[in-house]
With several copies, the nearest count.
Chain A
Amino acid sequence: MTTRDKPVEKVSRVVIRFAGDSGDGMQVAGDRFVAETATLGNDLSTLPDFPAEIRAPAGTLPGVSAFQVQFADTQVMTPGDRPDVLVAMNPAALKSQLPLLARGGNIVLNIDELTRRNLARVGYDVDPRTDGTLDPYVVHEVPITTLTVGAVAKTGLGRKDAERCKNFFALGLMSWLYHRPTAGTLAYIDTKFADQPQVCAANRAAFEAGWSFGETTEIFAVSYQVAPATMAPGTYRNISGNVALAYGLVAASERSGLPLFLGSYPITPASDILHTLSALKRFGVRTFQAEDEIAGIGAALGAAFGGAIGVTTTSGPGVALKTETIGLAVSLELPLVIVDVQRGGPSTGLPTKTEQADLLQAVLGRNGESPVPVVAPRSPADCFHAAIEAVRIAVTYRTPVFLLSDGYLANGSEPWLIPDPAGLPIINPDFATEPNGDNGAFLPYARHPDTLARPWALPGTPGLEHRIGGLEKADVTGDISYDPANHDRMVRLRAAKVEGIARSIPPLAVEDPSGAATVLVLGWGSTYGPIAAACAQLRAAGCQVAQAHLRHLAPFPANTGEVLRGYDKVLIPEMNLGQLALLVRAKFLVDAVGYNQVRGLPFSATELAEAISALLEEDQ
């Protein structure tokens, strides 16, 4: 699979989108394409995009599952706005994905599926190739099903099973088109289907047939090469947000010496963290699949009382259920990490789509004055570091901490410079081991003068027996207290403790290469990529714009107000109706403007650039 007879063109940046039925294996094709792209040294970013149903009936619009990847020889910040190539396995995929394509975009179309019945099913009265629908695009017609079945025939696999290999045919074709290496995928097929030699042979055959089809037919006149990106030296891997987050928790466990305990109830798009951690028992990780979200966080809190890093993973509806227990953790002042992989809301909403609309729930959504620090990663790989930071805050300050990921970060992936474990932060649990009061008394609510953290005394420690609970506690002693002045004091102490975390976090950094920008774009979480890409586009076009991105949403870095006041205009793009904007306006009285989309999808860098440039113009 390496001879090349056709001309080769060098390109810098490509966006590909695979789309087919939920059962068509598009996510697998995408994952493999990415693995090969990564080892080739391109920078990349991915976006899996699939329905909430497991396998909606074949050929229907709701059943379409897609996978998009952008890769380039320079830095890649997003999965790309508009695909250069859409691989459409059937009419449903074609119809649903067409709006994403720019004029002139390429479509690799599986013409075998364009039967009248299939077309009618998605509302095409006539074949879209015949009525001008596809005129704006470059269509490459490929009988993918037939070719796959033909290639696979020699393995003796039945027709139905043979057809299921068509994702590997498509993958082979795209691998040829973009000069992806093939050895990794062949090895993957061998391992994956080791138990089923016939299926293994069939998938290999389909993959090779796809590759050869590109090479031998006239369908594509040229193939494309994308040179490796210049990246910092080191060893890289590709990693998704959920896996990175799970690994970050394990790293924090190793670096703190505390065992990791996950109490969780499955929910999309957070479940993969549970799956990943459940396979890491060799790290002493205990995963507990609870009967519901409340039990999941309850068990995590119980484990924290016993000295573990207690973690619970969920999405928005699960956070709603955990709210009361988070309040208890605030009152108990025990370390706890609540991972919220945000998805489309309200209510069940769009379970497989991304959104940033749980921010205010995390910061403010509890009864009573109940401050909780909030940390958010900015990219899939950054989930690793954000998880360590969340554990650091939780353990150091004896507090529940929110880690706000989202569906895009969770399932999206990017290359990651693998860190040296020895360079990761050390977290000191600083357990109480001795009485801290007079006459050998233990005072569970006597605070550390700097952090205001209370002592963490583990059951099993002789002499420190004590009781804690959700009723208001007397300052210092922790006994139940209904005293008005004490309550006021405790409310303010808890608030001050969380505010004080700001002293332990880096100041908000601004990226403004010219130093002359008057407009600041402020973001948080997964919008980092699109915002950075949009700013880069604008700067390339000669505009001046500054970018800052918040990792800590509560408390804000100490210099945040100062930074914001340094600009004429502050634009806050969010995948919600303006939640960070609300917090920033309230706290700093800065007239920050929102740019808001609630579409279940990451921002398009181009659209964002347009919005920013509109503001730049206003500001002139």
Chain B
Amino acid sequence: MTATTGGTPLPLTKKDFTSDQEVRWCPGCGDYAILSTVQSYLPSLGIPRENVVFVSGIGCSSRFPYYVDTYGMHSIHGRAPAIATGLAVSRPDLKVFVVTGDGDGLSIGGNHLLHALRRNVNITILLFNNQIYGLTKGQYSPTSEFGKITKSTPMGSLDVPFNPISLVLGAEASFVARSIDTDRAHLTSVLTAAAAREGSAFIEIYQNCNIFNDNAFQAMKDPASRDAQTIRMVHGEPLRSATTSVIRGPGGLMLVDDPAHPDAVIHDAHSVDPSFAFALSRLKAPTPIGVFRDVPRTSYDRLMGDQLAAARERQGRGDLASLLAGNDTWTVA
């Protein structure tokens, strides 16, 4: 109870982060679970509500900000990372989240997302990957599997999907993680890891769209299969699922059907070379979840702030009159 927030004393509770707006997702949508986890997690940041901002694009997922009682902007399709960049860079005192979808963030908005990550702008990006366009009623997305039959691809899609983790690692992202909508504990742990660092954090969250792409991640959730279908990555621990271990292969990493294999690779989330995280990102069934990469890098806003300070130190605070006059004047009497 050291700080107050508009009369709401810290520590805050989940309720403090719940807005008065009716949630309008379909009943059963995975977005509900994510919302609830995020609302529960936010108080742990110890940041006053008014210093938290959620910026989103367009999509079912992008309705998220309406439901969180902080500052928020539901912007336009794909542009949230760009908008958040301007906000985060000019207001380093704020904690800025971006909420986006696989269409919003990887189709129309792919470029902004990747540039924000290479710059290491001080934003936490939550990408809700349901492998479908929800809001426009079910076309395939850049993460839909090859051959997917949807409204716009009645004979199956022809595009090899992006692997979002590989993609952002190729774009120099320094914090990269994956979690699952309904795994509250795991998602909270990843959010917490992201909060501990400066600069960009990218978190892919597998999210179920029960209307247009139901059960896309069911094997990773089902108590019967989930331990075999996921590799829960922990820094410093061996990489394995219930039935396999990850070992080194000639071209990268590979799986062996032996959960106790002696050469199981030890996870190193702090490897400076992103090649290790990249190799991990290529594994699937079982699929790694948790933090792929977490290496420190100065954030963009801090670098910019430092330049402003340095300029003032070297040249003094700007003086408008002398700026306007310049060096080459003459006087008419």
Contacts and interface: CB of A to CB of B under 8 A. Distances in A.
| A–B direct contact (CB < 8 Å) | yes
Interface of A: 23, 35, 38-41, 52-58, 60, 62-63, 184, 228, 231-239, 247, 250-251, 254, 259, 261, 263, 265-268, 271, 274-275, 278-284, 286-296, 298-308, 310, 317, 324-325, 327-328, 332, 347-348, 418-421, 440, 459-471, 479-480
Interface in B285-333: 304, 307-308, 310-312, 314-318, 320-321, 323-326, 328-333
A477 to B, nearest CB: 10
Most chain A CB within a 10 A radius of its CB, from B74, B75, B90, B151: B90
Given A261-B90, A284-B308, A467-B65, 5 more contacts: A184-B328, A290-B115, A299-B85, A302-B86, A421-B320
Contacts of B50: 459-465
B24 A328 contact: no
A283 B211 CA distance: 31
B308 A55 contact: no
Nearest to B95: A459
Contacts of A291: 82, 107-108, 110-112, 115, 142
14 contacts: A57-B24, A239-B326, A250-B323, A282-B308, A283-B317, A286-B304, A298-B112, A302-B55, A317-B76, A325-B79, A421-B321, A462-B5, A464-B6, A469-B66
B210 to A, nearest CB: 10
Contacts of B49: 462, 465
A40 B332 CA distance: 10
Contact of B58 (A62, A63, A348): A348
Nearest to B115: A291
A302 B152 contact: no
B153 interface: yes
Nearest to A35: B328
Interface residues of B, number: 92
Interface in B85-138: 85-91, 93-94, 107-108, 110-112, 115, 133-137
B87 A302 contact: yes
Contacts of A232: 332
B198 interface: no
B53 interface: yes
Given A250-B318, A271-B139, A288-B89, A295 B112 contact: yes
Contacts of A281: 155, 307-308, 310-312
A62 B72 CA distance: 21
Contact of B86 (A38, A39, A300, A420): A300
Contacts of A294: 79, 82, 112
Interface of B: 4-8, 19, 21-27, 48-51, 53-55, 58, 60, 63, 65-66, 69-79, 82-91, 93-94, 107-108, 110-112, 115, 133-137, 139-140, 142, 151-155, 157, 211, 304, 307-308, 310-312, 314-318, 320-321, 323-326, 328-333
B73 A332 contact: yes
A283 B308 CA distance: 8
B318 A265 contact: no
Contacts, number: 289
A467 B157 CA distance: 33
A39 B111 contact: no
Given A55-B27, A271-B139, A463 B6 contact: yes
Q: Taking chain A's interface residues, is the majority helix, strand, or loop, or is none over half, making it mixed?
A: mixed
Given A57-B27, A280-B323, A317-B77, A236 B153 contact: no
B136 A292 contact: no
A71 to B, nearest CB: 13
Nearest to A255: B320
Given A54-B211, A288-B89, A236 B329 contact: yes
Contacts of A261: 86, 89-90
Contact of B85 (A250, A266, A302, A420): A302
The 4 A-B residue pairs with the shortest CB-CB distance, nearest first, are A469-B74, A462-B6, A299-B86, A302-B86
A235 B325 contact: yes
Nearest to A287: B152
A299 B89 contact: yes
A234 B331 contact: yes
A35 B50 CA distance: 52
Contacts of B58: 348, 470
Nearest to B326: A237
Contact of B153 (A254, A289, A308, A418): A289
B21 A39 contact: no
B90 A292 contact: no
B104 to A, nearest CB: 10
Nearest to A312: B86
Contacts of B308: 281-282, 284, 286
Given A283-B323, A298-B82, A303 B90 contact: yes
B108 A38 contact: no
A143 B180 CA distance: 42
A237 B329 contact: yes
Contact of A467 (B74, B155, B331): B74
A54 B135 contact: yes
Given A250-B320, A282-B311, A294-B79, A465 B70 contact: yes
A306 B331 contact: no
A280 B323 CA distance: 9
B76 to A, nearest CB: 5
Contact of B79 (A38, A298, A419, A463): A298
A334 B115 CA distance: 25
Given A283-B323, A303-B89, A233 B330 contact: no
Contacts of A418: 324-325, 329
A284 to B, nearest CB: 6
B331 A235 contact: yes
Nearest to B94: A459
B73 A468 contact: yes
Nearest to A40: B330
A213 B13 CA distance: 53
A308 B333 CA distance: 39
A328 B111 CA distance: 20
Nearest to A415: B330
Most chain B CB within a 10 A radius of its CB, from A52, A55, A266: A266
Nearest to B83: A302
